[in-house]
Amino acid sequence: MESGTELTLDAPHGSFTLHNNVNIPAVFLTGGIGVTPVRSIVLQAIHDNVPHRIFVFYSNRRPEDAAFLDELMESHEANPNYTFVGTMTQMEKSSREWHGETGVISKAMLLEFIDDLTLPIYYLDGPPAMVNAMRKLLSEAGVDDDNIRTEEFSGY
C-alpha cells in the first residue's frame, strides 16, 4: 500500500469485555498469545481500580514462551482483587526456573483458587483446542453456558 492511502477502520466488536456485575468474579482461562486481550482487560481493570474479583489462569509450554508473563505476575501488587495463576506444560524443555503450577488447566487447579466454579463469568481464549477443552471442562463442572465467553486464536 502506498504511503498516504486513506483507510476506513471499524472498531473491534464482540463480547470479550469485562462484565458489569462486580459481585460476580471474572475468570480468564487463556493460553499462548491468546493472553493479549486478557492483558489489556486486566491492566485496564487495575488502572480503573474496579472491584471485580479477577482470576487469570495462563497456560504455556515454558516460561520463556509466555508473553507478558512477568507483567501479569507482578500486577497482583497493584490490585489485591487480582489473582494470577501461571501453569507450564513442558518444563522439562525449559531453561528458566519456574515455581508456579505445572500441567494443563484442570478442574482441580481451578478449585484450588475458586470455591464455587458455577458462580464466575468465564473468558476462554487461546488455541482452538484449548478453548474447546476448557469449555468441556466447565460444562462438565456444571457451569451455565451463558457464563462462558470465548475467543479463539487460530494459526497455531
* Residue appearing with cell numbers 513442558: 90
Considering the four listed CATH numbers 3.40.50.80, 1.20.1440.230, 3.40.50.1100, 3.90.1280.10, the one that applies to the domain covering 26-152 is: 3.40.50.80
Q: Provide the residue count of the chain.
A: 156
Q: Which residues contact 110 (CB under 8 A, 6 or more apart)?
A: 27, 57, 117, 141
* pLDDT in the model for residue 12: 66
Low-confidence stretches of the chain (pLDDT beneath 50): none
The predicted-structure confidence for 70-97, as pLDDT tens digits, reads as follows 999 988 777 889 999 999 999 999 999 9
Model pTM score: 0.89
List the chain domain ranges. 26-152
